[in-house]
Structure 1
Amino acid sequence: VVVACNGVGTPRLLLMSASERFQDGLANSSGLVGKRLMIHPYGASVGIYDDDMEDWLGPTGEQLQSMQFYESDPSRGFLRGSKWILQATTGPLRTVDRWTKGEGVCDEPFWGTEFTRKMQESVGHMIQWLVMSEDLPEETNYVSLDPTLTDSDGLPAPKVHYTLSENTYRLVDWNLQRSLEAHEAAGAKKAWVTSRNITPGHNLGTCKMGDDPETSVVNRWGQAHDVPNLFLIDGSVFTTSTGVNPTATICALAKRTATHIVENARQLEVAS
């Protein structure tokens, strides 16, 4: 049995699969199913430049990325770091949003006579730095079953419990300040923070991978310690969120687990 419902759906399914044999949920002898939820809070800043960069063209992606501030540095006052992503800022509607909600600029006059000037100055002339934090695992952040809310089939809905840690607050704030300095060094006429501590929903870490059945849910192959014929191949097995988008890692782990299953199919011990 292979489960791939990621960091919210997978623990929900396992917790719903409680039985006389697995009273706390399937594969949950460690008590860690649903625990250690990580979701990659991020922040962003924009700068306005003289050059016409046609930043409204094409899809929003990663035109460039920097890992300069990815590793831990004790002098910064927090653990781990962030990937920086250079992005286009898309079209006029997003430009309005950045002016009217940005830190330090949202109180400036914008509508009326200022509208035309600010839009001419910024549309096509903006660049965004997005900083993605390495959200660290904490057992106080977790997924449980909602005691009253159900889905359309009458099954318990997942209930997400998440509080941004002090470490993540400091990490995002520090990197956003450096991003403003980067805009200034690159020649931006004006730069400001447009968002901080936004949660993109990279739901990770709720079925931890590890060698010890007492402190993890699955082994290095994504195989449940308690249920030998159950494999998890999604972001729930992450031990840390890392500071990068998780899709490629999830795909790599899924391929690795699939290869392991195929190569060991005849020798696998299946629980009775």
Structure 2
Amino acid sequence: FQAASVVIVAANGIGTPRLLLMSESKMFPDGLANSSGLVGKRLMLHPFGSSIGLYDEDFEDWVGPAGTQIESMQFYESDPSRGFVRGSKWHVMTSGGPVEMFTRWTMGEGVRDEPFWGEAFTEKMRKSVGHSIDWIVHAEDLPEESNYVSLDPVLKDSDGLPAPKVHYKTSENTHKILDFALEKSLLAHEAAGASKAWITHRNFSSGHNLGTAKMGDDPETSVVNKYGRTHDVPNLYIVDGSVFTTSTGTNPTATICALAKRTAAYIAKNAGRQVVA
């Protein structure tokens, strides 16, 4: 318990619903700020995939942070002819050094069964380290109430508090987005002159945990308003990815920062008339 006139929760899409669900009381028997029943619901994880291409040029592709990117939104918007809704963001990533290349050879689709050790190891690493480009594909995960965070009935943390339990299954739509985009990425490598290309990851979770405290105007169908203030508790605010209504196909950090700035400005402007529950 921590008394305060204003409380801001920023534990993101898994930690935030865990805190709210643990904070049950006679006034909030289903968890704090959960009159809508949506706390923990609509979890979105941004599953992603990647493909790698080998090139003759020396790119020094271990240089720079992983977030240094060139992005493409060509396949971002919905196109009914593809058999799914929404789409994906593509971005070029550095491939890293020898350890990263080791995982791409030993995990990659169509190459993991090729000879790798001994003379093959030297040849493959010579051709790939510093000579590769990664296409990373981020799928727009849809908000579905069947994907959610609850409290684990058995597992506890070191303080004896219930651990979060994540219930998530990648949707058929998300699978289709990734399958389509990854096949297109191989064509992109071919068009760019790659001597060899293959899919290295498919349906990996990005760690972008979103959507479990939905933002909206209606208290019956959302948890917070547009300023991140919970509908049920006037001095409780949420500032993280849990308030997202959709995941989009892009990294969420910039949007979270923008929402944080808006919420902070609102709190400061209205501090003199802040209602304390």
Same fold (TM over 0.5): yes
Map of 1:10 onto structure 2: 16
The runs of 5 or more residues in structure 1 that have no matched partner are none
Map of 2:88 onto structure 1: 82
SS state at 2:271 partner: coil
- After TM superposition, the structure 1 = structure 2 runs for residues 251-266 of structure 1, keeping only pairs within 5 Å, are 251-266=257-272
SS state at 2:151 partner: strand
Map of 1:93 onto structure 2: 99
Q: Distance in 1 between matches of 2:275 and 2:185?
A: 52
Aligned-residue RMSD, C-alpha:
0.9
Which of residues 216, 228, 238 is equivalent to 1:210? 216
Partner letter of residue 210 of structure 1? G
SS state at 1:270 partner: coil
Map of 1:23 onto structure 2: 29
Q: Distance in 1 between matches of 2:16 and 2:122?
A: 49
Which of residues 165, 173, 179 is equivalent to 1:173? 179
SS state at 1:239 partner: coil
Q: Distance in 1 between matches of 2:38 and 2:180?
A: 31
Map of 1:66 onto structure 2: 72
Q: Distance in 2 between matches of 1:146 and 1:109?
A: 44
Map of 2:228 onto structure 1: 222
Partner letter of residue 262 of structure 2? R
CA shift, 1:62, in A, is 3.0
SS state at 1:266 partner: helix
Query: How many residue pairs get matched?
Result: 271
Q: Distance in 2 between matches of 1:32 and 1:17?
A: 15
Q: Distance in 2 between matches of 1:63 and 1:206?
A: 28
Map of 2:207 onto structure 1: 201
The runs of 5 or more residues in structure 2 that have no matched partner are 1-6
Q: Distance in 2 between matches of 1:62 and 1:39?
A: 22
SS state at 2:57 partner: coil
- After TM superposition, the structure 1 = structure 2 runs for residues 183-202 of structure 1, keeping only pairs within 5 Å, are 183-202=189-208
SS state at 1:249 partner: helix
CA shift, 1:270, in A, is 3.1
CA deviation map 1:62-116 (0-9, x unaligned): 3311111111111111111111110110101111111111000111111122111
Q: Distance in 2 between matches of 1:242 and 1:268?
A: 33
Partner letter of residue 96 of structure 2? T
- After TM superposition, the structure 1 = structure 2 runs for residues 215-254 of structure 1, keeping only pairs within 5 Å, are 215-254=221-260
CA shift, 1:269, in A, is 3.0
Contact kept, 8 Å, 1:62 with 1:85, in 2: the verdict is: no
Q: Distance in 2 between matches of 1:244 and 1:63?
A: 12
Q: Percent identity?
A: 70
SS state at 2:273 partner: coil
Map of 2:137 onto structure 1: 131
Partner letter of residue 263 of structure 2? T
Map of 1:182 onto structure 2: 188
CA deviation map 1:163-215 (0-9, x unaligned): 00000000011110110010000000110000010002111100000011110
